[in-house]
Amino acid sequence: MSLCNRFIRISDIPKARRLRDGHNWIHKYPHLTSLGNHWDRDEALLKWVFAIRNFGIGESGKKVIDLGTNNGCVPHVVADWGNETIAMDCINPDYPPPPSACTMLVADAFKWLAELEEESIDVVFDICAVHLFDITHDDEIGNYGLFNIGKLVHRVLKKGGRMIISSDAGDEDHGEFSNAETFIKMIEKSGLKLTSPFDYTVDDDTFYSHPYKVVSLVFEKV
């Protein structure tokens, strides 16, 4: 499996749609809101599919956490492959989640991760959520949500465990948003390491979510 550390591209959309349709995720795990099914929105589709690909299609036997799930679909997909999966958020989902083997949990991520057994988890997902947990920002730390969650994730991951991120990245650092370079530095301060050098290429093929680029990142506990 090739772990992807780069900006997501417009040319990734056709393959993401083929994976979605080939596995019937759009019907098995619908993300239904007043705006329709989010699987039909390229912004959500790309973030979810990149996270799933970086996890490994059909991978099983892992202990998995998804942080800030709300109505996200990724934990439901990986749970049904035979992974012990907890989808947690500080609030109940806006809409009923799809039926799956996933355990839904309402909790404070900072407190819950601090109480979790050390080195007990194989994979932690952050799909455009953790940077919103604490939007305090300064030049030394960056985004406090990312920095502090990074330390807690390092604590609970097994050696060789991964933190898989699909998230928005700005051109500058402010509030909840950081640029890709700062994003990586904040997580690596925890002791987690990016699995390969990040490709910073930006061109006409770069996909934008509102005014932000979208990063695919995989960190490992070494």
Min mean pLDDT across 5-19, 41-55, 100-114, 143-157 is at: 143-157
Nearest 5°: phi and psi at 164? -110, 125
What digits encode the pLDDT tens for the residues 156-206?
A: 999 999 999 999 887 876 656 678 888 898 889 889 999 999 999 999 999
Residue 1 forms part of a structural domain: no
CATH of the domain at 202: 3.40.50.150
Task: Give the E-state strand segments of the chain in sequence order.
Answer: 6-7, 32-33, 36-37, 63-67, 84-89, 103-106, 121-127, 137-138, 142-143, 157-169, 193-194, 208-209, 212-220
The answer to whether 83 touches 60, Cβ cutoff 8 Å, is: yes
Residue 28 forms part of a structural domain: yes
Kindly state the tokens that stand for 98. 């799809």
The set of long-range contacts for 205-209, using a CB threshold of 8 Å and a minimum separation of 24, is 205/9, 205/10, 205/11, 206/7, 206/8, 206/9, 206/10, 207/7, 207/8, 207/9, 207/10, 207/12, 207/13, 207/42, 207/46, 209/43, 209/168
CA torsion through residues 57, 63, 66, 67, sign: negative
Residue 84 forms part of a structural domain: yes
Kindly state the tokens that stand for 47. 């973030």
What are the C-alpha distances in Å from 177 to residues 23, 181, 201?
32, 12, 19
What are the C-alpha distances in Å from 149 to residues 111, 154, 163, 191?
10, 8, 11, 12
The answer to whether 180 touches 8, Cβ cutoff 8 Å, is: no
> Domain of 89?
6-220
Task: Give percent above pLDDT 90 in the chain.
Answer: 62
Considering its fold, how many domains does the chain have in total?
Answer: 1
The answer to whether 81 touches 39, Cβ cutoff 8 Å, is: no
What digits encode the pLDDT tens for the residues 85-144?
A: 999 988 887 777 788 899 999 998 889 999 999 999 999 999 888 777 666 766 666 667
What's residue 47's pLDDT? 95
